Amino acid sequence: MVVHNGIFENYLDLKRELADEGHIFNSQTDAECIPHLIESYMNNGCSLEEATRAAASRIDGANAVVVLSRKEPDKIVSFKLGNAGGIVIGYGESEMLLASDIAALLPHVRTVAYLAVGEMATVTRKRVQYTRIDGSAVKKSTARVSYGALTATKGEYKHFMLKEIHEQPDAVLDTLRGRVQFDPPGITLPDFPFSDDRIRSFNRAIIIGMGTSLHAGMVGRMWIESLAGLACEVDNSSEFRYRDAVLDENTLVISISQSGETADTLGAMDLAKSRGARQLTLCNYEGTQSTRVADGVLPIRAGLEISVAGTKTFVCSLVTLYALAAYLGVKRGYLSEERLANIVQELLHLPEMIGQLLSDQSQYERLALKYGRRANFLFLGRGKNYPLAMEGALKLKEISYIHAEGYPAGEMKHGPISLIDRKMPVVALVPQDDLYEKMLSNVNEVKARRGSVVAVAAEGDKHISEKADEVIWIPKASANITPILNAIPMQLLAYYIAVERGCDVDQPRNLAKSVTVE
């Protein structure tokens, strides 16, 4: 029996060869070819391990495979080719476990190891032997997972997503722990891999990621520009990896992947490495593939996230990026002591402000009843909150299946405004920053076309309550920190609408927590 994740690129050639040998196929899948290939080697006298090794060396493409055979029932053999699918091995008491994701193992084990690309594991009840596919030995170190088994249960919550939303104040505290000093104000990143001279030599940064991690990166870019004075671009990993990106050793590539196993981000990191860029990765899990490829890791420390929709990993990625931008700003001599002191002071209050946003959720239930049956939503934001409009739209569409678009509000007049009528709810992010007046005029434009406006605005903003149909209040905060706060209403709105529509919140259709194939 074979469990397969990936794409077996040359399977048609091998299938033809195996069919000529007499193997009978019951499907058109590439996966079915793998057990036949292994069986063919076993028929010629190979052990399960030898046969799997021989088969693995003939498979092209990125594939993660687990193999069992009735002929050797006390053994599981697994291998990983290219960046497809994680294989995590859990060390239990008198038992070993294999899974594609650490979440499945956590109720049972705390010690794990990850298979790297080109590696094989032969697992029996009490031990595991690691080799490369070419047969050479591998010395593997294990990682101790600090999240307790309890975190893999829903506890008092109806869904993991809601539980994980509620965990954000504590998760943010963990992200900040040991990184922010208050007296004197300072940001320390103990694991930062580059010397101060190297930091000063960077003439540009490029942030890469997918989905929610990409949205975090879009905000991170603006922080890096404004706090560190470093030119910064942001790109979707799946685009970046196939572009002819111009990179050199003075380019800092920052990848964001909570899972550390997203195929496109890993592909983009491989490209960056081959072109000599320096790499930093933000990740939630120690020992995953992205942490092995990068020169250094900034753990986001969100704790285990089970729901497919990223929530606390998004917020913790944002907080880590904010700290990183301030750190680079200090090292580059760009961030004044006064600005640093303000940043530190505000970070001190961040978990409390997030807690405040979570304290009363009745408003979201009401909004879900009012707008949950609409067919379309628009999300608008500007500046650092434009990526939050994208994130709000992504959260809503992925878990409630409502069509939603996130736009920089300035784009409205260039097309989307024609969609607005009385059936269109528009979620407008209107923090009191230097783009406030411009956002207000976007709200006016929506109202003039009879759209409904749900504004997300700073407490005490009287203008907005006169204009919008509904207002979700966020605590007063600096412009820099509003994207982190605005993440919470985006999550709660999507969550309550999905619940109202009876959707499978934690496991939306067609989606996977780690997208390990491109």
SS3 readout for 177-219? CCCEEECCEEECCCCCCCCHHHHHHCCEEEEEECHHHHHHHHH
Taking the least distance from each CB to ligand F6R, the nearer of 41 and 496 is 496
CB of 192 to ligand F6R, least distance (A): 21
d(CA 234, CA 217): 7
Structural element, H or E, at residue 296: strand 296-299
Taking the least distance from each CB to ligand F6R, the nearer of 310 and 387 is 310
Nearest residue by C-beta to ligand F6R? Answer: 211
CB of 266 to ligand F6R, least distance (A): 9
Structure tokens, 421:
């009528």
Tell me if residue 128 falls in helix, strand or coil.
Answer: strand
Taking the least distance from each CB to ligand F6R, the nearer of 115 and 343 is 115
Taking the least distance from each CB to ligand F6R, the nearer of 69 and 514 is 514
Taking the least distance from each CB to ligand F6R, the nearer of 211 and 381 is 211
Taking the least distance from each CB to ligand F6R, the nearer of 120 and 505 is 505
CB of 431 to ligand F6R, least distance (A): 23
Taking the least distance from each CB to ligand F6R, the nearer of 303 and 329 is 303
CB of 257 to ligand F6R, least distance (A): 3
Closest to 257 measured CA to CA, from 224, 231, 295, 288:
288
CB of 154 to ligand F6R, least distance (A): 18
Taking the least distance from each CB to ligand F6R, the nearer of 285 and 327 is 285
CB of 457 to ligand F6R, least distance (A): 25
d(CA 376, CA 428): 14
Tally of CB atoms within 10 A around 10: 13
* Amino acid (one-letter) located at 151: T
CA distances from 500 to 68, 246, 366 (A): 43, 47, 10
User: Which residues are CB-contacts of 22 (< 8 A; sequence separation ≥ 6)?
Assistant: none
CB of 388 to ligand F6R, least distance (A): 13
d(CA 372, CA 430): 22
* Amino acid (one-letter) located at 99: A
- Asked if 245 and 500 touch (Cβ cutoff 8 Å), the reply is no
Kindly list the residues in this chain that would bind ligand F6R in the complex (CB under 6 A).
210-213, 257-259, 262, 265, 309-310, 394, 398, 514-515
- Asked if 392 and 379 touch (Cβ cutoff 8 Å), the reply is yes
Taking the least distance from each CB to ligand F6R, the nearer of 310 and 425 is 310
CA distances from 119 to 83, 133, 260 (A): 12, 6, 17
CB of 506 to ligand F6R, least distance (A): 11
- Asked if 388 and 381 touch (Cβ cutoff 8 Å), the reply is yes
Taking the least distance from each CB to ligand F6R, the nearer of 34 and 87 is 87
Q: Please give the order of strands across the beta sheet that includes 470-474.
A: 403-408, 376-381, 425-430, 452-458, 470-474
CB of 477 to ligand F6R, least distance (A): 24
CB of 488 to ligand F6R, least distance (A): 15
CB of 211 to ligand F6R, least distance (A): 2
- Asked if 390 and 216 touch (Cβ cutoff 8 Å), the reply is no
CB of 319 to ligand F6R, least distance (A): 15
Q: What DSSP letter does each residue of 388-444 carry, written as one string?
A: HHHHHHHHHHHHH--EEEEEEGGGGGGTGGGG-STT-EEEEEE-SSTTHHHHHHHHH
- Asked if 271 and 88 touch (Cβ cutoff 8 Å), the reply is no
- Asked if 487 and 317 touch (Cβ cutoff 8 Å), the reply is no
Taking the least distance from each CB to ligand F6R, the nearer of 341 and 515 is 515
CA distances from 165 to 169, 210, 456, 506 (A): 9, 20, 18, 12
* Amino acid (one-letter) located at 434: D
